[in-house]
Amino acid sequence: MTTAVDASLGRLLDSPGITGVALVDAVTGFTYGVAGDAAEAGDGAECAELAALIAPLPAGPDPYESCAGPARGSLVRANLLRRPGESGPCPPGAAPRRPIVGRRVRATGEGRAMRSVPPWARVYVVCTALGAVSCAAPSPGTRAPWAAVALFAALCAACELLAARRSAGERRPDGTGAPAEGGAGLGWHTPVMLAAAFLLPPPAAALVPLPGALLARVEQRPRGLRRTWRAAQLVLCTWAASRVHWALGGRDAVVTSDFPYALVAAGAAVVAFCLVLAVLDGGILVLAERVPVRVARRGLFLRPLAPVAVHGLAGLMMAVLWRSPYGPAAALLVLLPMYVSWWAFAQYHRERAAHRATIRALVQAVDIKDGYTRGHSERVGRASMMIARELGMDDERAEALRFAGILHDVGKLGVPTRLLRKDGPLTPEERRIIELHPEYGHEMVRGIGFLEEARSAILHHHERLDGSGYPYGLKGCRIPEFARVVAVADAFDAMTSTRSYRRARPVAAALAELERCAGTQFDPRMVQAFARALGRQGWHPAVTADEPPPHGRPRLPAPYTPVATEPGARRGTAPGGPRP
């Protein structure tokens, strides 16, 4: 088992990609971040996909919790964000849908969404709770080590409360605070539960997570049900782990420090823990979230395995030291690294949220100057992302491409506001000044290391395939791939949104225009990919910011839901592509 964990960690160290991120988050016990951030960043499709990937992750065993239970929160969020016609685990009518709003979906929205709990889910929770009670009931004739149980339970509760307080304290008023508000279900106190499972008889071990789970702050209604569910799930998991460990004689191995064998027994206990977690989570996903079984099953067992295994190792060492001559105080030291990594992880998320806000501020600065392109950047980012997914790019490149799309016009900061806002036709001189903006943008983001490939897109997004574009007049495949993607997304959004000099065109007309110009202006491969993506997902634009548009006029392009392809769609005659 150790080798498996080794390999998994090694992989993590090598690949900082999105999957790695999700997994590491899981290792630390906080899975909230990825899907939540995606929702924040405003890419609906991406968010839905990510959430579907991560949703089954039982890092927060409570399917109702949104803040305290990371994974479920993202699922609820995803359900809110998902739209009809989109493939995904969201059945019709499961949750009220909000249109994609680039900003975060408010917690109150989630609360409303979850207020109606299906009756079967209630029955399921009650059954689970009854099962937990029957597991924890002490069998007559055995003497439970009450002192140890009380110590472990107090420790567990203390860890959970500490985590909750820290993250509550670090939450910022604008909502960019630490992600793990309220503490995750499998936080850094998991080693305590597992150590108890390794040392105590099963019914006694099952009592250990109880006080912590019952005391933990629950932000979403219905609170009682959520608390019950969370407590019952942890009790059952711990009981199962302890039962398996006990049956294998692991306790004696721990007490006598019989080492390779203690690892085997602990490994089996960890597997049991994850299995029960997966089964219970799957049940609640199917009943409460009405997720189809085959989707709910995905990754439920395997995803938490690596994190729980690492926590299991720490728990094993806690158990060994607890029974050693050095006593429980020495065992506490094991928790310190877990706490520190949890802290670093919370900081990481805080900083990441701040970073995203900064990027958004860069974009908003452009919006301030160039009034009519409001929300354009975010939409181009989203369209670029759709193309990237369609082209089968990996997550990291797709993410970079989204940033490229978002930041493609950042160089307009360097163009005088007067020119950007000019209503009439531009003189050649003015046009030349405006055409400098790709170079300005490239210069501006030069220092941002993670953008790398995206910088080329910022520089070259006005190049045309036939070499008549600017700034360098590159031709064909000499134009970087990212730039070819962003060019299509940019032109599409420019055509489908209202500008001061013309009205928005319908999506179908814009697509036809893109296809007409494919080969001369745009890369046909990108245009086809975009058409496919639109055909599947539709186009649901939204503004970036929460505040109303400054000019009071609706500037949103109309949403578009794909229908059967229209034969003989209108062919536009106006020059395609955005005004520079």
Site residues for other proteins, 194-223, by CB under 8 A, read none
The binder of other proteins chosen from 19, 341, 498, 561 (CB under 8 A): 341
3-state secondary structure of 415: coil
Q: What is d(CA 519, CA 317) in angstroms, rounded to the nearest whole number?
A: 64
Q: What is d(CA 364, CA 354) in angstroms, rounded to the nearest whole number?
A: 15
Residues 82-121 that bind other proteins (CB under 8 A): none
The binder of other proteins chosen from 87, 134, 347, 520 (CB under 8 A): 347
Q: What is d(CA 80, CA 73) in angstroms, rounded to the nearest whole number?
A: 11
| Cβ 151 to other proteins shortest distance, Å | 14
Residues 421-460 that bind other proteins (CB under 8 A): 440, 443-450
| Cβ 128 to other proteins shortest distance, Å | 30
Q: Interface with other proteins includes 362 (CB under 8 A)?
A: yes
Q: What is d(CA 279, CA 300) in angstroms, rounded to the nearest whole number?
A: 8
Indicate the residue among 214 and 340 with the shorter CB distance to other proteins. 340
DSSP string, 465-527: TTS--SSS---GGGS-HHHHHHHHHHHHHHHHS-BTTBPPPPHHHHHHHHHHHBTTTB-HHHH
Q: Interface with other proteins includes 333 (CB under 8 A)?
A: yes
The binder of other proteins chosen from 330, 419, 433, 508 (CB under 8 A): 330
The binder of other proteins chosen from 176, 242, 456, 544 (CB under 8 A): 176
The binder of other proteins chosen from 196, 316, 398, 485 (CB under 8 A): 316
3-state secondary structure of 560: strand
Residues 19-58 that bind other proteins (CB under 8 A): 24, 27-28
Indicate the residue among 11 and 571 with the shorter CB distance to other proteins. 11
| Cβ 542 to other proteins shortest distance, Å | 19
**∠314-320-325 over CA atoms, to 5°?**
135
| Cβ 411 to other proteins shortest distance, Å | 7
The region of 154-162, 205-213, 227-235, 354-362 touching other proteins under the rule CB under 8 A is 354-362
| Cβ 36 to other proteins shortest distance, Å | 15
Q: What is d(CA 452, CA 446) in angstroms, rounded to the nearest whole number?
A: 8
| Cβ 412 to other proteins shortest distance, Å | 9
The binder of other proteins chosen from 327, 519, 535, 554 (CB under 8 A): 327
**∠278-284-289 over CA atoms, to 5°?**
125
3-state secondary structure of 539: strand
Q: How many positions of this chain bind other proteins (CB under 8 A)?
A: 74
Q: Residue 241, Cβ neighbours under 10 Å: how many?
A: 33
Q: Interface with other proteins includes 542 (CB under 8 A)?
A: no
Q: Interface with other proteins includes 6 (CB under 8 A)?
A: yes
The binder of other proteins chosen from 352, 422, 475, 532 (CB under 8 A): 352
Indicate the residue among 37 and 110 with the shorter CB distance to other proteins. 37
Q: Which residues contact 42 (CB under 8 A, 6 or more apart)?
A: 100, 101, 102, 103, 378, 381, 382, 542, 544
Distances (CA, A) of 275 to 81, 300, 568: 30, 9, 55
Q: Amino acid identity, residue 237?
A: C
Indicate the residue among 12 and 154 with the shorter CB distance to other proteins. 12
Q: Interface with other proteins includes 1 (CB under 8 A)?
A: no
What's the gap between Cα 555 and its chain centre? 29
Q: Interface with other proteins includes 354 (CB under 8 A)?
A: yes
Q: Which residues contact 130 (CB under 8 A, 6 or more apart)?
A: none
Indicate the residue among 20 and 467 with the shorter CB distance to other proteins. 20
The region of 67-75, 118-126, 306-314, 468-476 touching other proteins under the rule CB under 8 A is 306-314
3-state secondary structure of 212: helix
Are the CB atoms for 206 and 238 separated by under 8 Å? yes
Which residues sit opposite 518 in a β-bridge?
522
